Amino acid sequence: MAQSSTYNPALSGNPQSATGRTYPNGNPDLGYNPAGVRNTDSALPLHRKGAVVHNYACDGPAPGNLGFRWTYGSNVAAKNRDPRVQVVQYNEDSFVLRQNVCVHWEAPFTYLLFGNAGALLIDSGATADARHYPLRETVDAIIARWGQARGRSRIPLTIALTSGEDVAQNQGLVQFAGRPDTTIVPKPLEVMKRFYGFGGSWPSGTGRIDLGDRVIEVIPTPGTHKDGVSFYDPYCDFLFTGDLLFPGKINIGNDSDFIASLERLKGFVASRPVKWILGGHVEMMFVPGKYYPRFATYKPYERVLEMGPALIDEAIQYAREVKGKDMMLIRPDFALFNGVSPDQRTRVWPEGVPKIDPPHPF
User: Along the chain (362 residues), what's the average pLDDT of each consecutive run of 10 residues?
Assistant: 37 39 49 49 56 85 88 94 96 96 97 97 98 97 94 95 96 97 97 94 96 97 98 97 98 98 98 96 96 95 96 98 97 97 90 89 64
In a domain, 354, yes or no: no
**What's the domain count of the chain?**
2
Separation between Cα atoms, residue 261 and residue 229, nearest integer Å: 9
> Are 234 and 321 found together in one domain?
yes
> Are 152 and 273 found together in one domain?
yes
The per-residue pLDDT for 29 is: 56
Strand partners, 120: 113, 158
In a domain, 45, yes or no: yes
**pTM for the model:** 0.88
> Are 216 and 332 found together in one domain?
yes
The per-residue pLDDT for 31 is: 52
> Are 16 and 101 found together in one domain?
no
The whole domain housing 29 covers 1-59
Surface-to-core class of residue 41, CB atoms within 10 Å of its CB (0-12 exposed, 13-18 middle, 19+ buried): middle
> Are 220 and 259 found together in one domain?
yes
The per-residue pLDDT for 8 is: 38
Beta strand residue intervals within the chain, DSSP E? 85-91, 94-99, 109-114, 119-122, 157-160, 182-184, 207-210, 215-220, 229-233, 238-242, 249-252, 276-279, 327-330, 335-338
Which amino acid appears at position 32 of this protein?
A: Y
> Are 3 and 151 found together in one domain?
no
> Are 55 and 109 found together in one domain?
no
Angle, alpha carbons 313-70-314 (nearest 5°):
10
Separation between Cα atoms, residue 38 and residue 274, nearest integer Å: 17
The per-residue pLDDT for 48 is: 62
Task: Tell me the CATH number at 212.
Answer: 3.60.15.10
Map residue 138 onto helix, strand or coil.
helix
